Structure formats: structure tokens, C-alpha cells
Structure 1
């Protein structure tokens, strides 16, 4: 059906109906990114000479390993050709060796290299679910899960976790209540974006039992594996025995090596039928980018000292952030155990309006902050309206300044 809009010509007392093709319902349902939708307001503030401190997006300021940059810079390719659909064999072999160092034992044939973790998630959803099938996800969750699900016609069924329990895994009984004949998988992010929560080995085992009991897939987004704090260790679903046919891991170089622009990720599973099916979706997009694979392969040579230093830096930033946020009256904080995000509950009704107000109207010494309203990280209507996500990807000086601006802005907003 075509839809139109009316144009009035008042001097002639006439109207003309202009028809136009209709947009898909899927397109209309596609959610805006809560992280990026405020960008126009930030850009407008910058045009006016305002310094905007970004707490809204997980773009680390950590330097990319030089070995990865040099691999591209010094490459002597004469033809920038397609790679294999599943990614270059040498890269996948080295990825398998990387996983083995982390006590995850897979082979190159269990790995499909993708254009970012995003494509790995999209391939996974398309492989395990048909239109109107369901995937259960503890919320709050990475906002783009909503977008990926909408794009492939899958329904997200949320099970809520709470800031009062620091976003721990909801009781298994809550999952069981939501399982229907259309349920195909449970999806977790570990460590979590946006919460920074790190699932324990016991929680992974509980999830393993429920997916085996109901014959479901267990999908784990493990892109922040290296960043765990307070002596806690990451436990992958691929380490859990008996999950060989159920476990699917989504991974990426973006955060691990501060290589967000490389857009290289992967899908990892020991389920041969699943990987063969996902490969068909990968063939439809031909291949992942060649230069980015070269950089990602070289990045695997990054020494452990790099991660030790990065982890130490993030722990320091987290501790400073929590310390400064606690000085703000009326806030509630989810303490991250991994990744580099924090959910903060504010004494306001609408964090979308507050975040936009900060960019449009509030200035402290001609500076302001940009935060991510948290409602977009929930699928349940009305949840997260008084929460924001902070990405602590700034150095400590700027992080401290940003929280001070947030504190003053909040006081002014509440009035």
C-alpha cells in the first residue's frame, strides 16, 4: 500500500496529495540506538564551542597494539582480494590457539570470522530462530540486541535483573516461566554491557542445565573476556562440559585490543550443523574485510603485559568513578566486575530528557557531558527510565571532571 502526505497551497485554497512508497513494518519497528540517538545534540553543542565529555559510548582511549597497526602499514599486498567466507585459515588457526590459552578448546573449523561481533550475533539469531521465535535475554542488555532481533524477525523475551542485586542472574524459575514452544535460545553478555556484571561459574552451570533440559541454545557474547576485576576469572560457556551442541560464543577484537574500527568478530561453536548453517549466511555477504583480518591476526601476538596494564587502568577508573558517584545524593550504583560500563540510577523520572537537557542547556565552564539513557537497554516497557549507562573509557582526570559536571547538572535539573 502506498502512503501519502498532503501539501496545502493556501493562496489557491487547494491541496495536492503526494504519494510515496511505504516503509516496511520491520523498518518502523527498528529501535534507535540509545547510545547514538543523542549525537545531533552533542554535535550542535560542539558547534557552539561547548566541550562535550563523552560517557555515552564504549570507545576505549587505550592505544591499539602497535603490532596490529604495523601489520597493515607494512603489508605488501598488490591485490586486496576477497578472503575465505569463514575467514582466513591462518587467522582461525591462531584464534583457536588463543582460545586454548584460555582453556577453551576449539578448532579452526569451529570458528567463522565475521564483520564485527554484530554480524556474528545476526548470523546466530538467523541460524537458531525463525520469524516470531523467541530468545530470552536478561535485561538490561546491549541495546543492539533489540535491533538485531528486529532485523531478523525474532522476538526478545526479557527476564529482568535488578540493580539491588548488582544485576546478578535472575532465578532460574524466572527463565522457566518464560519458556514456550517458540523459545529457541537464551542469550547472555559476559561480562555484561551495560552492567559490567560477571557471571559466576555456578550461574553458567545453572544456565547450562536449563538449556539442556529444554533443548535450547545458550549464546554468550564474550567480547569483554579479558576485562575482569577483583581477582575474579571469566568462565566461558565453551568450558562447560555437555554443552557442545548448545553453546555459541560471539566474540570480537573491538574492545580486547581497542580496535573498534577493525570490525572483526567471530562466531564459535562445536555444533557442526550450526556452523555449517551460519556459514550459508556468511556466504551471502561474501567475506570479512581482508586488511582488518591482517591487523586482527597480528594483534594475537599482543603480550599479556598489555592486558595487565589495561586491566589495571580500568580498575583504577572504575574505583574512581564509584567513589565520585557516591558523592551524589540520591544515586544508586551497580558496581561493575568486568567490562567498562556502569549503570547508575538517578533521582529523576526520565533519563532521556535529562541526557538531552545536559547537551542542549547545561554548561559548567562551557563544558557538559553526554551519557546513554538506560531505557534503551531494556525490552520491558518503562524499565530503566531513571537510569543511565556510563562508559568509563576516559582517563581519570576527565572522568572525575565528568562526574562533577554530572553532579552539578543533576542538582540544577532537579532544581
Structure 2
């Protein structure tokens, strides 16, 4: 292990919190731990993980803005093995390479490009919600949250069918790999190996959908914009971020609206608040807990000195509940005006697919506002993942406007 990630490294006379941030207990109930980290200091040493945690909103935003000091090019995981194989992709790169890669990967995710698929996503969301309203009871994750990413986005990516069938499993493994050195991360590596074999051997130029996002990568290689060997690496950037984060954010949105019926009633009365509701759900239940960075030079966060070479975990999910930034940060309020949450990241590494995620959730929520009188939710089942926070299953019942739904 390197000094930056070895649990044996001791940091004297600094705020410390002796808990494994990737443990089952923390994953199941993270927010009291994030609160404690914020209380202890601007940067807090995690002896069990051999790295620092940064959890206050202002400090998280500042670190994400300072990509020269807080570098991604040595990997963004919480374990050395993943950081040894990941550098060079969009997530684990620094300028100027990052700008070159993002220009290619983000092209089909721009607002202008998404205009071409907006009508299709809208029509699909309308039909989906109509079916679920008539059905009544359903699984909010498998039947609603996963539907658009799996049915439309996976087609836009343009992988051969075998890849589309495995995208959710591969995406989950990618984020498990980016956590700490634990059993979940170890179990992810064989799955990642399978995914990489697929991108090399099956997602070849003649097997991907013409005009799809992966085909655009091959076109970029033909034009000399990227090296041919970068095509497989960059297509993997579409496999994870385009799916799980949107799916989990949609599940959180659904649960929060069902668990807070007054907020749903307000949203039905004021549909203009739909974008607010989406941002508020992403703030309150950030689908990505956080990624790490490596400190390039000796630096100070707040009043805490961090040596060059140390690794820091930047906790988006903690920053988004910082009581220094928001009044009643643990409350779900669709009227809250949000312009600076970090649920989609911040700075040059802000989520490239955030506009697509917002479009999908906006279309679903707009269709719900038109048809659903009340949302009832049961107890969700949490998906255990090192980096992602979301539900594996979520019992939901839609009561349609004008009467009870059909028995489902």
C-alpha cells in the first residue's frame, strides 16, 4: 500500500474519526457519521482507511474547483488496486487529457444533442406512468426507475445486446471497485474484467449500433481525436455513469415524494417546481457518496494541513446536508431553491450526464403530476454499494386522479 491509503499511517495532532467509511454499518446509516466528520473539522483523518475526509459544503466545493491541487489522475478510488488500473479514463484524469476526453464523451450528452431524443423520452415516460397508474402497485426500482435508462439510454449507447443485458451489473461493480479495500471491491474486479473483455472482443466497430454513442468514439478515433486504444476505455465511461446514478436518483425522488405527501400535493399544485424537486432529491440523497483525490502539493483545508501525496475523500453526500449551508438540511422541501448542491459533483469533473439525468427525471415527474393523486411507498431495500447510495427494491402504489387504481 502507498502511504496515502495505508490504514497504518498515523497523523498526529489532527482531527480524526476512527471508523471505516466503507463498512456495512456506515453504508446503511451514513448521515450520523457525516455529521460527526463535519463537526470534527474541515479535513478529518480516517485511520481505518488511511486517508482524509472532507465533508463541509464550502470545503468540498473549493476542493472540487481546485483540480490543480486535488488531482484525479492517480485514481479516484479508496483502494490502491483500483487506482492502479483506472487512471486515464474520464473520471481519473487531469487537464489537459481530461478536457480532450470530456469533449468526446460529453458530446452526445449536451443539451443540444439531447433535444434530438427529448420527444422520445417524454413519450416513453408518459406511457410508462400511464401503465403503472393502471397497475397500481409495483416495484419503484425495477418497474419505474430502471425503465428509461435500460430501455432508451442503453440503446443510445449502442452496445450489442449482450452488453445491454449486463450494463446494470457492470455499472454496480464499477462503483464497488471505487470504494475501499473490502470484500465488495474484491468481488467487483472479476466483473470488471468481464466488462473489459466485452468492450474489447464484442463491442467492436462492426457490432455497435451505427450512430450510437460508442460508434461516435470509433469515429473520433478515425478522425485522430483520440487514440484507437482509448475507444474501449472511453466506452466504459458510458456503462456506469449513464445508468446507476440516474436510477438511484429517480428512486430517491420517488420515495421522498411518497414519504412526504404534503410535498407531493404542493408539486401537483405547482408543477413549475418539478426541477426544484429533482435537485432537492439529489441534494438530500446524493446517489454518489464521494470520490477521492490525491493532494499534489502541501495544502491547507480550513485550518488543517494536508501533506502532498495524501489521499482525500471528498464527501458529496455530507456536503449536501451541511447545516452551515442550508436551513433544515435533512428536510425534503420542493420549494427550496438550489444552485450550489454537489449531488452531480462540481468543477471540471461535474457529472457529464447530469442533463440527461435531469431530462429523464423531469419527464417521469411531469407525467406523474398529470396522472397521480397520491404516492404510497413501503420500506425500501437498500442496495449495498461502496460508492453509490440507492435502493435495490422500493414498494410503490400510485393512486390515480379521479379514483382508485386497478388492483395490481
Per the normalisation by structure 2, the TM-score is 0.27
Per the normalisation by structure 1, the TM-score is 0.27
More helix by share: 2
Larger Rg: 1
